[in-house]
Structure 1
Amino acid sequence: PAEVSRKAKERGKDQLGTLGSGNHFVEVQVVDTVYHRPAAEAYGLEEGKLLIMIHSGSRGLGHQVCTDYLAVMNQAIARHAIDLPDRQLACAPAASAEGRSYFAAMAAAANFGWANRYFLGHLARAAVARALDSTPQRLGIRLLYDLGHNIVKPEEHLVAGDMKKLWVHRKGATRAFGPGDRRVNAAYRSVGQPVLVPGDMGSQSYVLAGTATAMTDTFGSSCHGAGRRLSRTAAKRAVRGEELRRRLEAGGIAVRARSMSDLAEEAPEAYKDVSRVVEVTEQAGISRRVARLRPLGVMKG
């Protein structure tokens, strides 16, 4: 925490338990297809079961940490005589003072993100229990998985036959450790780490499982979403928020958004076909399908 600037802390202090804008969401889903029964049973998934998927992170605190350390890294590039193919690949040696400070600040931001999702999950559980005049305990509401992305982690991986400690950067990707890996939670170790792949507001999402191939081919990594096809600006030009809301509601998906402009940014047509993305991921062997989730309601920040 000492490596996090006062400005970052100021930006984050009122944001714990808030969703944020952009592609952040809370979505109510139902399991409509199970592909891999053993993994689904380990994860507690079955057809007809309701889930709540939350996508949010470290909010303004994490954004400011990034802004602060981009300036630090740009100075470090010159100091350490680092030749970069692209200036956006700002970096510093991991063992340097700049590298150690950044990793500490990034870890603090990741912890803030986990705490933020915990509070959002608590609020979601309380809302469901209140709506059903029950309690989370009686309803059996539990956490399937929580994981961060857009971070760097020190991990051990096999490289050219030797086990090496690496700094693994995942941007738009997530961990997908395979069966038997000791770093996977014991409850899931026999089937591999859960991989959550949200689709867009109008289509399904997926739960995948990590594989042994991911460990050898992609440093235990897989996609964490469909990926954008249109920029946010292009999406707003192509789609009207009100029309999109009517279209989604006509398809049985309840929608709540801060503004119609924000809703249009995240229109289904702005994203690639998540089913095709997941199919390619499975064909590559870096994760396998466990279950498909159909959206029932979505809240955008």
Structure 2
Amino acid sequence: MSTIKASWSQLASTGQVICLSTTLHDDMMATSSQDGSCCQVQVWEKDSSTGDWDLISQISTDSQIQTLAWCHPENGQLLVGGSQTGAVYIWRPPRPGFSRNELTSTSGYGREEGMSLDDEKEWVQSGHVMCSKHPIRHVCFAPRQLGLVLCAACQGGSVHVIEADRVLGPRNWSVQSTFSMGPGLPGKKCGGVTWRSFSPGVAPLLAVGSKGIVEIWQYMQRVMKWQRVSTFSLSEPDAQSVSVHWAPTLGRPCDLIAAAHGKVVDIFSLTGDTSDLKTQLLRSLKHDAAVHKVEFNTFGTCLAAATKANVLHLWKPDFVGKWLLVSSIAGSPDALDEE
């Protein structure tokens, strides 16, 4: 194994942390937690001088937030969360540049209707979309070239594509498309969803993980709907996929998709046009504990797999394309005792 420098911080959070997400530049982070009936989302900011994370806002929610995602910095600071009740929430930071006099003036300039002075100190809910009666398993933003668009995968097997009314300072969000796993796949549950990175001339593509399979969906502009273009099986047909991630293309001759199920992460290659898409299982990466999330780095040259044993495994391909474990980073042992 190669030596990799790693630093870590232990953040004080009330209750059990459900999920977390960081921005593209890793300068902000969001976590969701639950302590009894109290559900909250915490927003953290990294101190550039010390490297410590400071809690800058705490948002109370009506239900448990199971998944979080940040939009691209070009669209500002927007945080989205998917809830246990099937709703998608969008939050924005407090508006800067207002003095206390402006915020407390009778005109209410700079404040949204019903907003108090204290609200401007915290992150504000700027959107709410009810997608399903089933829990949201995963949310993610589309490549920025497609506009301010996100998708939400529900446990009931449906995927909802949500779009903002404008790319900067959006006021309204609405479901533009909905499609479901199948047909002939009763009881299928979405375990994760991921966008393909933008390529000129290539229609938007999504990969959706489910029980034993991964489906590829493409947006057909001529009919203005999503259509399934490929389905391929996991290495364990009865396993439920819990996380999928599409590696950035960056001129690679083939696309790569990682899918986690149980203690295994499958890496697939995709070649050819969507009319004749060919898939191949390159390797199944074995782990000592169940994997709950996988993600490629910005260049698609390194794959991270987080397990329920509180260990992060880093995999890289060698010069012949064989994926090797290069490092394992263990979290705080106290975290396991608290679960």
- Tell me: higher relative CO, structure 1 or 2? Use CA pairs within 8 A at least 6 residues apart: 1
When normalised by structure 1's length, the TM-score is 0.24
Q: Which protein is richer in strand relative to its size?
A: 2
Q: Which protein is richer in helix relative to its size?
A: 1
